[in-house]
Amino acid sequence: MTWVSFWDWAAHDPDRLAVGEVDGRKISYGELAERVHRTAHALIGQGLRPGDAVATILRNRSECLELFLAALNCGWYYVPINHHGTIDDIAYVVENCEARAVFVEPDFAAIATTALDRIGFPAEMRFAVEPAAGFVPAGDLRARGSSARPTGFPAGQVMQYTSGTTGRPKGVRRPIEQCGADELIGRMSWLLRSFGVEPGEGVHLVTSPLYHSAVHSIGTAALHLGQRIELMERWTPEACLERIARERVTSTHMVATHFHRLLQLPEPVRATADLSSLRHVLHGAVPTPVDEKRRMIEWWGPVIYEYYGSSEVGGTAVDSVEWLKRPGTVGRPFAISELKILDDEGRELGPHQVGNIWMRQGDQEFSYFKDPEKTAKTVRGRFIHVGDHGYVDEDGYLFLCGRDAEIIISGGVNIYPAAIEACLLGHPAVRDCGVIGAPNAEYGEEVKAVVSLNDGWPPTPETAAALIAHCRANLSGINVPRSVDFVAELPRDPNGKLQKRRLRDGYWAGRERKL
């Protein structure tokens, strides 16, 4: 069986289950394909042409896949918008990407209406996946279209917006290629296949919002390989383990925060969890403390695969066996990728020298939409630097150190928070933490740890002193936090990514610092 396209599976095995909704309903490949085709024809009837954009403000639901597949088949840009954003964020992205149609969740209709009114977005191109005042029901739109697959169009693209660490988010836009969707799909599923996932039976669990680049690309690749996509909306470690056991999940994507919370479950819960169906657990997006990943491998077995990459360019990968030989690595470049470590002057550095990570992936092109200045700063030939720093060892395995926006500069010395955070997470008191540069009159910045504590640990000077002593015993002096502040919760987005800018803002109010 060599089918590697959603449309192949829908044509040859229409009763095969494609999606498990958050509420437990199951949708077949044939049913989803009919919805995709009807929506595509209806939007074509509304005037959409190749190169146009379709934006969504949705939770995890099958309509995310429906609209993506329609865009992929018809040469449109599919633009998933972070539904946790503000009115300004939504208005900016919809206007910036030049969306021709917007699909929303009823719960987000009010904020979307304000945003769309602000930019004068046409009422007839506003759609809601369930009834909502001021929006055309998506079901009514779908009913206008034919159930036959549209033909003769180039392949569409996903246009992701970066998280906006240093200002407004930027749209990562690639050219619409003059090939059909079926041809492009082979490249879309290469990541999963490179980890050994083959077409056929399987269940992929989506644990984070589908507006996240990696979550979307890995989940849709699994769909093209004939697997069922099980959608989660509000992740908890208990619900995750229950879903893995009940649905016989074979693959999933996680981040370090998921691992940390899973490992905090009581030992009897972990010992009785049924993980026998798991074959591939991919993780990335944020650094994972070495001790926690080692414990996850001991618990779940050698099914854990780490990758490093970004919306802009592909990257590296490592399996459990290789990682245990080189703890902390994020692997070597994919076969189609190339990696260089350069200093600020563009000179290539040797093993174990920390520098700027530059990568290329084949002949892939991209630009930040309507931002040639940022594109020029990020791109050098076919190589791309997104602000990450790291080094390679003698065998070419990459190790991450931090990002431009996260580096603490104390007395002229660069300090990378990731290693400090990993050390703190190794202390039994720490439930979550973030390390930032706080103002220091003498050195410019000092290392500040912001910590959320586990139950039973009081937020006292004695606990702070114990955490600093723990760091002093395990880190070099320059990396030891000068102080520790305690908070109930740290600002993380639904993907588990720590929002460092929000964390720093309270300490830098009224002061200037680099973003």
User: Quick one: pLDDT at residue 214?
Assistant: 87
Tokens 């939504």 -> residue: 90
Given a cut of 70, whether residue 3 has pLDDT beyond it is: no
Tell me the three state secondary structure of residue 126.
Answer: strand
CA distances from 483 to 21, 235, 436, 464, 465 (A): 45, 32, 11, 7, 9
Residues forming beta bridges with residue 54, ordered by sequence position: 78, 101
Q: Per-residue DSSP letters for 300-324?
A: H-TTEEEEE--SS---EEE-HHHHH
Domain ranges of the chain: 29-180, 189-308, 311-406, 408-508
Pairing of strands 136-137, 126-128: parallel
Select the more confidently predicted residue: 404 or 472: 472
Average pLDDT over residues 73-90: 93
State the Cα angle at 320 between 357 and 402, rounded to 5°. 25
Average pLDDT over residues 444-465: 94
Residue 229: closest CA among 64, 36, 75, 83:
64
Spatial neighbors of 434 by CB under 8 A, at least 6 apart, are 417, 421, 449, 450, 490, 498, 500, 503
Average pLDDT over residues 297-306: 97
For 18-69, write each residue's pLDDT tens digit.
999 999 999 999 999 999 999 999 999 999 999 999 999 999 999 999 999 9
Given a cut of 90, whether residue 310 has pLDDT beyond it is: no
Spatial neighbors of 15 by CB under 8 A, at least 6 apart, are 28, 29, 30
For 314-362, write each residue's pLDDT tens digit.
689 999 999 999 999 999 998 878 999 999 889 999 999 999 999 887 6
Give domain 189-308's CATH number out of 3.40.50.980, 1.10.10.10, 3.30.9.10, 1.10.260.30. Answer: 3.40.50.980
Which segment of 123-132, 287-296, 408-417, 484-493 scores lowest on mean pLDDT? 408-417
Highest mean pLDDT of the ranges 3-12, 271-280, 342-351? 271-280
- pLDDT band, residue 165 (cuts 50/70/90): very low
Which segment of 94-103, 213-222, 462-471 scores lowest on mean pLDDT? 213-222
Structure tokens at 216: 């979307």
Residues forming beta bridges with residue 171, ordered by sequence position: 161
Cβ atoms of 83 and 105 within 8 Å: the answer is yes
Beta-carbon neighbour count of residue 387 at 10 Å?
A: 17
Residue 63: closest CA among 262, 229, 292:
229
- pLDDT band, residue 514 (cuts 50/70/90): very low
Q: What is the mean pLDDT of the chain?
A: 90
Beta-carbon neighbour count of residue 462 at 10 Å?
A: 9
Q: Cα separation of 300 and 46, whole Å? A: 49
Average pLDDT over residues 253-280: 94
Cβ atoms of 182 and 153 within 8 Å: the answer is no
Give domain 408-508's CATH number out of 3.10.105.10, 3.30.450.30, 3.40.50.2300, 3.30.300.30. Answer: 3.30.300.30
The helix (H) or strand (E) run that includes residue 432 is strand 430-440
- pLDDT band, residue 403 (cuts 50/70/90): confident
CATH number for region 29-180:
3.40.50.980
User: Quick one: pLDDT at residue 364?
Assistant: 67
Tokens 């836009």 -> residue: 173
Given a cut of 70, whether residue 166 has pLDDT beyond it is: no
- pLDDT band, residue 515 (cuts 50/70/90): very low
Fold for the domain defined by 311-406: Luciferase; domain 3 (2.30.38)
Q: What is the pTM of this model?
A: 0.85
Question: Does the fold of domain 408-508 match that of domain 189-308?
Answer: no
Cβ atoms of 329 and 397 within 8 Å: the answer is yes
